[in-house]
Amino acid sequence: MATVTNAAPPTLSWLSPVERAFRTFTTAVAFAFFGLGGLFMAIFIFPAFNVFISDRKKRSEIAQACVHRIWWLFVRVIRFMGTVSWDIDKPEVLKNLRGTIVIANHPSLLDVVFLMSFMQHTRAVVKEGVWRNPFMRGVVTSADFIPNLGDPEKLIADCTAALKDGYNLVIFPEGSRTPDGAARRYQKGFAHIALSAGAPVQVVSIRVNPPMLRKGEPWYYAPPSKGHWTIRVHERIDTVEQYGNDRSPAAVRRLTTDVAQRIEGLLAL
């Protein structure tokens, strides 16, 4: 299995004022690229799809491919600028997934960007704040991402339909980034979806060293060394093999606990 890497995980070292200013500048450039790029696509690129492509599913597939390529470029641009570094093992596993739920912990703002930059045929479940963000709304609606607007039954139905159509889903069962020092709490929604669709669950762990872009942390904060993302692709859970047609609350709890224990065990290593 291949490993994509660009540097060894950094060790902590205090930044000089010049280094800190440069890191803050490159971070600002990265966020501007991300936000304005999304706005540009929403205003100029995706509306053109509506004019020239009549089939809604085809439009959304092309939009998803555009998002994948843009995020693929983004993570390489911020690496080139020296804003962050990253490595991932077995990227080909993520690339070749179909009809699978990818479940990961959620330490930073960029987790979904990193994961989806390595994946194809993928839709994300996005919370209401992202859905209504003016820089992101055009992107997430055109790519037919799935909004989580507080209706659990509709969310499960939409996600189940997407999985049965062969799309992958990226879900963070914590719901949002967990603040430093707080215990991660895993919500059961993904387990309801996986058992309803009979979809496999791909477990992924994410570490960020030193931590950055955490919940409640300003985007311009420059940690004492370059943030390094370590993304590890672990075993896949075959829900049909392990749970059959059992969609009971007990089965949902068992699957949620199983995934939580696996991720927590991996992060403790």
Instruction: Identify the residue with better confidence: 69 or 5.
Output: 69
pLDDT digits (tens, 9 = 90+) for 12-34: 445 677 877 888 888 888 888 88
Residue 2 within a domain: no
Residue 254 placed within a domain: yes
Contact between 143 and 94 (Cβ < 8 Å): no
Task: Name the residue range of residue 161's domain.
Answer: 14-268
Domain count, the chain: 1
CATH number at residue 181: 3.40.1130
* Pairing of the two strands 227-237 and 84-89: parallel
Confidence band for 4, pLDDT divided at 50, 70 and 90: low
> What pTM was estimated for this model as a whole?
0.87
11 pLDDT above the threshold of 70:
no
Is residue 5 assigned to a domain?
no
* 1 within some domain: no
- Contact present, 189 and 253 (Cβ < 8 Å): no
What's the whole-number mean pLDDT along residues 81-109? 94
* Interior angle at CA 149, CA 148 and CA 153, nearest 5: 75
The pLDDT of residue 119 is 94
β-strand partners of 148:
127
* pLDDT digit string, tens, across residues 191-203: 999 999 999 999 9
Q: Residue 246: inside a domain, yes or no?
A: yes
